[in-house]
Each structure stands twice: as C-alpha cells, then as structure tokens.
Amino acid sequence: MKLLLAALLWLLASLALAGRWTPAEEARALALGNDLRCPVCAGETVSQSTAALARHMLGQIKSQIRSGRSDPQILAYFVARYGRNILLTPPHSGLGLLIWLLPAAALLVGGGLYLRYLRRQDQPDGSAPPEERLAEVDRLIRENSPPELGREHR
C-alpha cells in the first residue's frame, strides 16, 4: 500500500514538473523572442510585448524548444509564416548582408577621404603666393592706404 502511494506521489510530482519550464528553456525562449518583432505592436519584440498574440508566440517558441527544435529552425518557422520582416535583425545573407556591410564600407570610404583631405592641408601645394607677388600686394596696400595709415605703415 505504501509502495503504491509513493508511486502515485512520484507520478503526480513528475506530471507537475513536466509542465514547468526550466530556467534554461525560459532564457532560450526569451532570447529567441527578442529576435522576433511582435507583429501587432509598434517597436516591441515578442519577449517585451504584453499583447495576447505575442504571449501566444512565446508559448509556441517554448513548445518548439520542448519538441527539440533548434534556434534556426524556430526562427525559420516564424519567417515562413510572417515573412523576413518578423526578424528584428536583418539576415547575414543576400540583401541583408548589404545592410551589415554598408556602414563599415561608408566608414572606410569616409575615413579615407578625410585622411586624404588632412594630408592635402599639410602639404604645400604650390598655390602659396610667391615672394614677388607678396611684395607687390604690400606696395599696393601702402599706395592705397589713407595718408595717416600710410605713415604708420612707413
């Protein structure tokens, strides 16, 4: 009788625990939910949103984790239904790759152009006025200055 009672208790306890999510499962579900845009919210992820649909989506993620699906498989499931827009970060392939590379390319090109500009500023480029021209400008200033200024000049 005692043995039967113990077996029954063990069965009940395992059934109760089976419905619970482990901290690891919970963390993985939340991380995946943070990669997905909530389709009925403005600028919120599935994990952040309190909308009923987002809660159900999180539930789906957990169910799929339990059934042994990998992270890419779970994300692919949502992409197949909602399109690529459901992903919060663009994919690292195709057009999505361009979005990742473009800022780096812009930084390199911009940096290069700025360096070139700085080098040019440092180098004498031959456009500086020669001595004779400076002397001529000086003479013209003296000639065209009012008398009192001219005296000061002299």
Distance from C-alpha of 68 to C-alpha of 8, rounded to nearest angstrom: 28
Choice between 85 and 144, CB closer to another protein: 85
Quick one: which segment of 7-15, 18-26, 57-65, 90-98 binds another protein (CB under 8 A)? Answer: 57-65
Binding map of another protein across residues 1-30, x = CB under 8 A, - = no contact? ------------------------------
What string of DSSP letters covers 81-93? HH-GGGBSS--SS
For position 129 contacting another protein by CB under 8 A, the verdict is no
For position 83 contacting another protein by CB under 8 A, the verdict is yes
Tell me how far, at minimum, the Cβ of 31 lies from another protein, in Å: 19
Q: Quote the distance between the C-alpha of residue 48 and its chain's center.
A: 18
Terminal-to-terminal C-alpha distance of the chain? 125
For position 112 contacting another protein by CB under 8 A, the verdict is no
What string of DSSP letters covers 25-83? HHHHHHHHHHTBB-TTSSS-BTTT--SHHHHHHHHHHHHHHHTT--HHHHHHHHHHHH-
Choose which of 25, 28, 82, 90 interacts with another protein (CB under 8 A).
82
Note the residues at the interface with another protein (CB under 8 A).
39-40, 52-53, 56-57, 59-60, 79-83, 85, 113
